Amino acid sequence: MTDPRQSPTETILASLPRRRRAEARFHFYGIAAIGIALGFLILLIGAIGHQGIGAFSQTEIALDVTLDESVLDPSGTRDPETLSTANYRAVVRAALGEIFPEAVRKRRDRRKLTALVSIGAGFELRELVLADPGLIGRTMRVWVPADDEVDMLFKGVTVRDSGRFTEKQLGWLDRLEAEGRIRSAFNWRFFSNGDSREPELAGILGAMSGSFFALVTCLALSFPLGVMAAIYLEEFAPRNRWTDLVEININNLAAVPSIVFGLLGLAVFLGFMGLARSAPLVGGMVLALMTLPTIIIVTRASLHAVPPSIREAAIGLGASRMQAMLHHTLPLATPGIMTGTIIGMARALGELAPLIMIGMVAFIVDVPQGLLDPASALPVQVYIWADSPERAFAEKTAAAIIVLLAFLVVMNLTAVILRRRFERRW
């Protein structure tokens, strides 16, 4: 209720403090909203980072291995076939026996002792020998990965008296440590190996290559198709009921849950076309179906945002509609199209659901070398590791998430930079 004797200026002045307070409150709400969102983000990244950081280091044990010819290559032919199937585990066991001669007398002790070293030790020795057969007969010191249980102990995830080690085993570990035979090294295996059931050997390279091949296929299919479709719809297609129908359908497709595309892929690409299961090619094709509507919508929006005057000026100077579009409209719309495409790709990178149907959610050890080799993908790796009983896989899971997030950040950052650098405002 305003006092009739007040002048309008007085009324306004009287309401000023109240309006300023409302303004301040509004600012506060905005900042609070951002703060809460950031808080959750920091909590998420902090929790994952805290858990995953351990996966980037690995406890290693130094062994003085003698690459005994009588064990590895009794015939002395240096035949690669013999060398690759030789018993390298025996070499590892012998090296352990050198350090603990008293422990290898009883079978039970010997088992407990070899259990401290990863079975990957043998595989790594094999790689060394295959790369250089001249090493046979020599004795050298190599750092081999410790078993995941030992790794967890030295990382402080499990405690000494957890019952996961016998007294003897703890004694051996103490002696190894005292002799300087235990170190924590950068876990390069995490970046150079495929999947494994042994946490200390499990790596992300297979999943990264799988994701890479799938995304290349996805980009090669969805980008040209999407851009062409969008250009035609936006610039050339007549406006009638048919084009309206197409447009509605494209918008609907963008909202279809991704698992549906997986089912479609299973029926069409695997069932009808007979393509290989688990191939990143098929994964990429399914992801392309999913990304296509996004690219079409974004491209149309970017083309639409170019002022009509540019098109009209080009046509006025005698350019054909195609020339006007290719020479003027499209270059101006490119930053927007790129941004949309990258964001569409980033979404495809994080997809798991459509890959279940086409067999990419699988345990695959060999790193894929091409589009048709069986492969998994980054989100698949996260999913499989999260479901594994071994405790050391918890940090691997978090580390895989870190790698996935790093890729997403890089892709989104590229999108932002492209937009900043090339975007024109009118």
Partner 1 sequence: MKKTLLAGLLAGVAVTGAAEARDQIRIVGSSTVFPFSTAVAERFGKTTSFKTPIVEATGSGGGLKLFCAGIGEGHPDIANASRRIKEKEVKKCAENGIADVIEVKVGYDGIVLANSRSTDRMSLTLRDVFLALAHEVPNGACGSADACPMKANPNKTWKDVNPDLPDMRIEVLGPPATSGTRDAFVELAMEGGCKQFAGIKAMKKADKRAYKMVCHTIREDGVYIEAGENDNLIVQKLTTNPRALGIFGFSFLDQNDDKLQGSMVNGVAPEFEKIAEGNYPVSRALFFYVKKAHVGEVPGIAEFIAEFTNEATWGPEGYLADKGLIPMSDTEREEWRAAANGLQNLSM
Q: Which residues here bind partner 1, judged by CB under 8 A? A: 81, 84-85, 111, 115, 119, 123, 158-159, 162-164, 196-198, 217, 220-221, 223-225, 270, 273-279, 281, 359, 361-366, 371-372, 374, 384, 386-391, 394
Backbone φ and ψ of 67, nearest 5°: -80, 80
Select 99 or 270, whichever has its Cβ closest to partner 1: 270
β partners of residue 248: none
* Tokens (6 digits) for 188: 């390069």
Nearest to 66 by CA among 96, 106, 105, 100: 96
Q: How far is the CB of 221 from partner 1 (least distance, A)?
A: 6
Backbone φ and ψ of 142, nearest 5°: -125, 150
Select 168 or 391, whichever has its Cβ closest to partner 1: 391
Select 305 or 365, whichever has its Cβ closest to partner 1: 365
Select 78 or 164, whichever has its Cβ closest to partner 1: 164
Collapsing DSSP to helix, strand or coil, 388 comes out as coil
CA distances from 347 to 53, 84, 291, 295, 344 (A): 25, 42, 8, 12, 5
Single-letter residue type at 173: L
> How many CB atoms lie under 10 A from the CB of residue 154?
18
Q: How far is the CB of 219 from partner 1 (least distance, A)?
A: 9
Nearest to 136 by CA among 91, 99, 203: 91
Q: How far is the CB of 205 from partner 1 (least distance, A)?
A: 14
Select 68 or 390, whichever has its Cβ closest to partner 1: 390
| Residue 184 · residue 57 · CB < 8 Å | yes
Q: How far is the CB of 35 from partner 1 (least distance, A)?
A: 27
Q: How far is the CB of 392 from partner 1 (least distance, A)?
A: 9
Q: How far is the CB of 282 from partner 1 (least distance, A)?
A: 8
Select 125 or 311, whichever has its Cβ closest to partner 1: 125
Select 84 or 243, whichever has its Cβ closest to partner 1: 84
Q: How far is the CB of 102 from partner 1 (least distance, A)?
A: 21
- In whole angstroms, give the CA distance from residue 284 to residue 216: 7
Collapsing DSSP to helix, strand or coil, 426 comes out as coil
- In whole angstroms, give the CA distance from residue 78 to residue 248: 67
Single-letter residue type at 318: G
